[in-house]
Amino acid sequence: MATTDSTNASRASHLPDPKRTQGPYRAFTSDRGWDEAWWWLGIPVVTAIFILATAWLTPDFYLKWVLPEGYGFLELGHFFIPLAAAIIAFRQLFKPFVRARPFTFAFLLFAGLACIYIAGEEHSWGQHFFYWNTPSYWAEVNRQAETNLHNVHEWLNHQPRAVLQVGIFIGGLLVPLAAWFFPIVRRNRWSLFLPAAALVPTALGWLFFRGVSQLNKSYGHALVQRPSESVETFMYLFLLFYLIMLARRINELEAAARTQPS
């Protein structure tokens, strides 16, 4: 009898949907577990090991191939990772579920545009690839004489970066910790937008290199040269993984809508 009641309660509950004002809600099943640890755990771990190993064991290789502006492994990642994240965000805009929810649509549109901005700014909108000269009038207002916006004013660089890093700390570390103790965190109307627990390794990678960067600034201890580049790598990985998880949740919501009444 208890099993039947539990099953009926599960069927009566709904996936977290910002458009649905009444629960009860159940947690998403599309948030990946250990069956896909190769990417949500493996990629951050391998990335961190690669950065540290090359910086310590083969510093010449690190300086020549990993760190260089424009074509280094990290810098290329700073273009392709947010570009991939933008593609995922924009693809969701064509789904009926998203188009029927103005807030979700606006959220994904903003996320996609933000990722395009990051990818473009990281390579000065192609200047790091094609090496064109910066117009003289723009070089006068850009502190690095590049064709980008983030070197023009801190509100186009430091403030957006700070907002993203606060989001990673709260969403990637505090939210999963809270959900561990209070499962209701994953079972409310707005849980669709909360980062999945699988993003914790990426958030920890960001936190580690953020600490390295602060030590470098405060005490001059260079565990790796220009650790800010590693910080950015994990920031952008977090964005990509977050949008992958969000897209999976949207797919799950659409599938559920086809199989159960409103």
pLDDT tens-place string over residues 41-56? 999 999 999 999 999 9
Cα distance between residue 100 and residue 257, in whole Å: 13
Q: Backbone phi, then psi, for 116, in 5-degree steps? A: -65, -40
- What pLDDT sits at residue 145? 61
- What pLDDT sits at residue 154? 73
DSSP 57-100: H-HHHIIIIIS-TTTSHHHHHHHHHHHHHHHHHHHHTTSHHHHT
Reported pTM: 0.90
pLDDT below 50 — which residues of the chain?
A: 1-10, 262
- What pLDDT sits at residue 261? 55
Q: Backbone phi, then psi, for 26, in 5-degree steps? A: -120, 160
How is residue 95 written in tokens? Answer: 């789904």
Closest C-alpha among 156, 197, 160 to residue 179: 197
Residues near 109 by beta carbon (within 8 Å), at least 6 away in sequence = 89, 93
**CA–CA distance from 95 to each of 5, 61, 68, 253 (Å)?**
34, 45, 39, 11
- What pLDDT sits at residue 168? 98
- What pLDDT sits at residue 241? 98
Cα distance between residue 202 and residue 239, in whole Å: 10
Residues near 123 by beta carbon (within 8 Å), at least 6 away in sequence = 70, 75, 78, 79, 129
Cα distance between residue 161 and residue 174, in whole Å: 19
Closest C-alpha among 135, 115, 133, 117 to residue 125: 117
**CA–CA distance from 251 to each of 108, 131, 134, 257 (Å)?**
14, 41, 44, 10
CA 38, 43, 48, 53 torsion: positive or negative? positive
pLDDT tens by residue, 148-186: 677 667 776 789 899 999 999 999 999 999 999 999 999
- Which residues face 25 on adjacent strands? 14
Residues near 132 by beta carbon (within 8 Å), at least 6 away in sequence = 126, 147
